[in-house]
Amino acid sequence: MKNLQPSAFSLQSAYQQHVGRHCFFKNKIALCALGVILFLTLIAVATLLFSWLGRPWPMNPNTTDLSQKLLPPSQLHWLGTDHLGRDVFSRMLHGTPISLTVGFTAVIVSLSIGVVVGSIAGYCGGKVDQVLMRLVDAFLCFPTFFLILTIVALLGPSLMNVIAVIGLVSWTGTARLVRGEFLTLREAPYIQAANILGQKSSTIILRHILPNAAGVILITAVLGIPEAILAEAGLSFLGFGVQPPQATWGNIIADGKTYLLEAWWLILFPGFAIFVTALAFYLVGDSLREAGEKKR
């Protein structure tokens, strides 16, 4: 019986890892959401490629024709036209890479800050942890969106400013989660053994703790992308985001708010695109979280 116990334990551990690894791929809703994300990414890449070739598809999103203004969806204009006669379908396609660029890039910025702060606070503990967490609390005292709005208003609206400000303001949640993981993992036996062997703190963090916290960081990143996209859409709607004539989903809605009753498509289609994109990322992130919990 003694010889069978380790084998049974190994089988159980292997089974738990198998369940966690494949749980995501068995979730049909999550796979559909992932398909939506991949489809949007493909649209963004294709749109940029056609633009770089000087052949915007299906037509130039900034071409105005007042004789075609506020036309409803038709075979010529699939999603109608706006108040300047611009094709809404083309403008939405060209707004896709901007929304995804803001989402991915802002999350990279916020993760870079949050992981560093959370790692140092969780591993060092003591006064270092207290100082860094008070810094996080100071940021959390301000509503995130209004803080972003204030800073962008001071710096001036532009794509780079929007990305930088969203990333620099949205790192606090990542820092707290990473700190919590480090506080737990630093007490693990293999970390204690590494300390006894005299390994450097940087080596322990990078080689032993951080890889085991990668799952939490990945989930935080996936869930942070829709928040950045929604923040950019809100800023563009208020006139503090990407400036016209460059098309984004947010400023398409801003252009359509004046014509809400007579041109419903200016609000419906970009609003639906924002909703579907954010929902897809949230579903993927939630499925990854459930898979991580089952693996444990």
Encode pLDDT of 31-79 as tens digits: 999 999 999 999 999 999 998 988 888 889 999 999 999 999 999 999 9
The answer on pLDDT for 11 being more than 80 is no
Residues near 175 by Cβ (< 8 Å), separated by ≥ 6? Answer: 113, 114, 115, 117, 118, 121, 132, 136
- What gap in Å lies between CA 260 and CA 263, rounded to an integer? 6
Comparison of pLDDT for 93 and 199, the residue scoring more: 93
Single-letter amino acid, residue 184: T
Secondary structure (3-state) at 3: coil
Q: What is the pLDDT of residue 20?
A: 52
With H, G, I as helix, E, B as strand and everything else as coil, classify residue 78.
coil
Q: Six-digit token pair at 261? A: 């009753």
Q: Which domains does the chain have, with CATH numbers?
A: 15-59+84-295 (1.10.3720.10)
**Residue 173: which of 124, 127, 140 has the closest Cα?**
140
Q: How would you class 249 by CB atoms within 10 Å of its CB: exposed for 0-12, middle for 13-18, buried for 19 or more?
A: buried
Mean pLDDT of 189-204: 86
pLDDT tens track for 122-155: 999 899 999 999 999 998 888 888 889 999 989 9
Residue 127 is encoded by which pair of tokens?
Answer: 């006064």
pTM of the predicted protein model? 0.87
3-state secondary structure of 226: helix
Instruction: State the sign of the Cα–Cα–Cα–Cα dihedral 58, 63, 66, 72.
Output: positive
pLDDT of 176 reads 94
- Confidence (pLDDT) at 231: 95
Listed residue (193, 143, 195, 197) closest to 170, CA to CA: 143
pLDDT of residue 67: 93
Residue 117 host element (H or E): helix 88-124
10 pLDDT more than 70: no
